Structure 1
Amino acid sequence: MLTVRNIEVSYGGVTALRRVSIDIGRGETVLLVGANGAGKSSLIKAIIGAVAPFAGSIELEGRDLRRLRADQRARLGIGYSPEGRRVFATMSVRDNVLSGACGKPAREQRDAYGWLCEIFPLLREREAQPAGQLSGGQQQIVAFARAMCAAPQILLLDEPFFGLAPIWIARISDAIREIQRRGTTILMSEQMARPALKLATRGYVMRGGEVRHEGDVQTISALALSDEYL
């Protein structure tokens, strides 16, 4: 479904990604594991169009994404939930979620919001409340719902467990399972891999802007343990 080949990214002359290649099949949940600065977020940003690789290719269902803007990639079916949630603090929970479907017909927005409230009851309970008043875990639910409101083919999650208490890690894991049950393909990055490995089908270990290892969950778990990502 998503194919990344030999992409390279640099910031101000400093190389962030070196000849990185990954493949994600439809319906998979693929995990990027690595320490802070390993290149995980840079890879996700290159896929969504937030940064421009100076080499390599990115294809979604065989379509070359390199010349497409971030908004055009989103319309092709790429959803994104950023590290740190980044909700619109003064906007209501409802408006935060619906902002993810901006440009969609009103009926599609209503339908999407309805099913999201079914799987995430918090949205209905807090829909009029400013999102900035929610806890970190509650904001993560809002960020997930915002990313899912346009019904993406593939959802990119950047550090979804970052800074969360164990009870919210469990709830966010349940939310990801709900997304998986809908058949959504997921690419997820995590620095601390233990909870993410319970959700993934396979993964890649990154270090120094490169993919060092890849394999199934058991293989990646052993590598992550040896590199102290658990």
Structure 2
Amino acid sequence: MPERYYPSDGSALYLRGYYPPAPLTADGRLTYRLTGEEDLMLTGEQNGSLSAPFGESDSQSLLYRHLLTQLIFTLTVEAEDTGALRVRSLHLNGLTDEVTLSLAEESLLPGERTVSVPVYEAGEEAEGLPFDGNKLTLPGYVLVQPSATLTIDLVLSVDDDRTHDREYRALPVRFEGGEGEGGTAYTVRVELPDPVIPDPVEIVAVATVGRWQEGDSGSGELVDNRSAETEQ
């Protein structure tokens, strides 16, 4: 880093990266609105000065880590013939609509309000997604706050008559290990009974640790925390 960026009095300059960019308060906090698509990331804090400048060693690298929990959805159905079955929609309930990130504490504080977000929704004239055999993995993923309490609403079509659709409401999501962790990806498996079986049948979606799916690349922002502290 060029010397002109360091304080002339020899004091330390503190740097941290976060993504995506957002207004930074004087006490080092950022607030984000969540829709299930945002990937919040943060680096550790590094410091340097004129006498001990930033280097290129691994110990001074600004490495980003994911803060939210990533969910991928897989459905199976216990039916011998799945040719006519289609998933019309799947909604996830329990996403907080707002989180506050504290740079000093490296923690997320969720808001009080939660919302439902569509993981998949067929258009009015669309048939929906078919099963491959008895299995279907929905496209894409959803990002939620860690330790979230979540449920699923699912609509399954069994024929061309929408009045025959099967609706599964408020299916609980149970996480391997007790709760969803930030920076961890989970595969949420929903095992459905044969649609011809009458209710009630208990259905629980089980989330097990999987592999993180990377999205579009982005750019981070370096923050001088010392500047924020002097404004208090």
TM-score where L is the length of structure 2:
0.21
Larger radius of gyration: 2
Structure with greater proportional strand content: 2
TM-score where L is the length of structure 1:
0.21
